[in-house]
Copies of this chain bind each other. A is one copy, B any other.
Amino acid sequence: MAASDSSKEDHVDVLIVGAGPAGLMLANWLSRFDIRTRIVDKRGSKVFNGQADGLQCRTLEILDSFDFAHRAWRESNHMLEICLWNPDEHGCLQRSDRIPDTIPGISRFQQVVLHQGRIEQFFLDSIKEHSDIRVERGVLPTTFDFDETKASDFEDYPISVTLRTLSDEDSTPQQRQTHQKLAEGQQAVIEDGLFRSNLVADDTDNLISAAEAKENRNANEMETIKAKFMVGCDGAHSWVRRQTGFTLEGDSTDYIWGVLDIIPITDFPDIRHRCAIHSANAGSVMVIPRENKLVRLYIQLQSTSHQKNGSKADRSWITPQIILESAQRIIHPYKLDYKYCDWWTAYQIGQRVGDKFSLRDRVFLAGDAVHTHSPKAGQGMNVSMQDTYNLGWKLAHVINGSSEPSILSTYEAERKLIAQQLIAFDRRFSRLFSGRPAKDVMDEEGISMDEFKQAFEKGNEFASGVAVDYAASVLIAKETDDEGQENDTDLINSKKHQVISKPELATKIDIGKRMPSFKVLNHADARPWHLQELLKSNGRWRIIVFPGQLTNPLNMQRLKKLGESLGSPGSFIYQYTPSGNAIDSVIEVLTVHSGPRAGIELLDLPEAFHPHHGDVGWDYWKVFVDEESYHEGYGQAYANYGIDPTLGASVIIRPDQYVSWIGEVDDYEKMSQFFGGFMKQRRA
CA A525 to CA B522, docked complex, whole Å: 36
Contact A289/B617 with A74-B70, A102-B630 known, Cβ cut-off 8 Å: no
How many chain A residues touch B (CB < 8 A): the figure is 46
Pairs across A and B, CB under 8 Å, 14 listed: A70-B74, A81-B526, A98-B598, A100-B630, A102-B631, A104-B630, A104-B631, A263-B615, A263-B617, A264-B617, A265-B616, A269-B602, A272-B620, A273-B526
Contacts of A265 in B (CB 8 A): 616-618
Since A100-B630, A273-B526 are in contact, a sample of 14 more A-B pairs with Cβ atoms closer than 8 Å, ordered by chain A residue number, is: A78-B525, A78-B527, A98-B598, A110-B630, A110-B631, A263-B616, A265-B616, A265-B618, A269-B601, A272-B525, A272-B620, A273-B524, A289-B525, A293-B616
**1/0 per residue A71-91: CB within 8 Å of B?**
000100111110000000000
User: Are A339 and B615 in contact, CB atoms less than 8 angstroms apart?
Assistant: yes
A339 to B271: give the CA distance in the assembly, Å: 60
A residues in contact (CB < 8 Å) with B: 70, 74, 77-81, 98, 100, 102, 104, 110, 129, 201, 263-267, 269, 271-273, 289, 293, 339-340, 522, 524-528, 598, 601-603, 614-618, 620, 629-631
Instruction: Name the residue in A110, A201, A272, A614 with the highest tally of chain B Cβ atoms < 10 Å from its Cβ.
Output: A272
10 tightest Cβ-Cβ pairs between the two chains A and B = A265-B617, A272-B525, A80-B526, A272-B524, A100-B630, A269-B601, A339-B615, A81-B526, A263-B616, A78-B527
Contact pick for A129, options B70, B100, B201, CB 8 Å? B201
- Chain B residue with Cβ nearest A266: B617
**Chain B: minimal CB distance from A348 (Å):** 31
Nearest-Cβ distance from residue A144 to partner chain B, whole angstroms: 37
Contact B340 A615 (CB under 8 A): yes
Residues of B within 8 A of A104 (CB): 630-631
CB neighbours (8 Å) of A266 from chain B are 617
A289 surroundings in chain B (CB, below 8 A): 525
Expressed in whole angstroms, the Cα–Cα distance for A74 and B264 within the complex equals: 36
Partner of A80, one of B79, B129, B269, B525: B525
Q: How far in angstroms is the closest Cβ of chain B from A457?
A: 14
Give the shortest distance, in Å, between A485 (CB) and chain B (any CB): 34
A80 to B522, CA, bound (A): 10
Nearest-neighbor residue (CB-CB) of A600 within chain B: B269
Set of chain B residues within 8 Å of A79, measured between Cβ atoms: 525
- Compute how far the CA of A100 lies from the CA of B527 in the bound complex, rounded to whole angstroms: 11
The answer on a CB contact under 8 Å between A630 and B526 is no
Q: Is the CB of A630 within 8 A of B80?
A: yes
Given known A-B contacts A339-B615, A616-B293, A617-B263, A269 and B526 have beta carbons under 8 A apart = no
Of listed A80, A614, A620, residue having the most chain B CB within 10 A: A80
CB distance from A276 to the nearest CB of B (A): 16
A102 vs B630: C-alpha distance in the bound complex, in angstroms? 9
Q: Which of A522, A525, A602 has the most chain B CB atoms inside 10 A of its CB? A: A525
- For A340, the chain B residues whose CB sits under 8 A away are 615-616
A602 closest partner in B (C-beta): B269
Residue of B nearest to A74 (CB): B70
- Contact: A273 with B201, CB < 8 Å? no
Give the distance to chain B from A124, nearest Cβ to Cβ, in Å: 14
Q: Is the CB of B269 within 8 A of A603?
A: yes
Quick one: closest B residue to A525, CB to CB?
Answer: B272
Which residues does chain B contribute within 8 Å of A618, judged by CB atoms?
A: 265
In the assembled complex, the Cα of A272 lies from the Cα of B293 at a distance in Å of 44
A522 CB contacts on chain B under 8 angstroms: 272
Question: Which B residues touch A263, using CB under 8 A?
Answer: 615-617
Across-interface contacts of A629 in B (CB, < 8 A):
80
Cβ distance A454 to chain B, nearest Cβ, rounded Å: 19
- In the complex formed, the residue of B with least CB distance to A110 is B631
- Which residues of B have CB within 8 Å of A102? 630-631
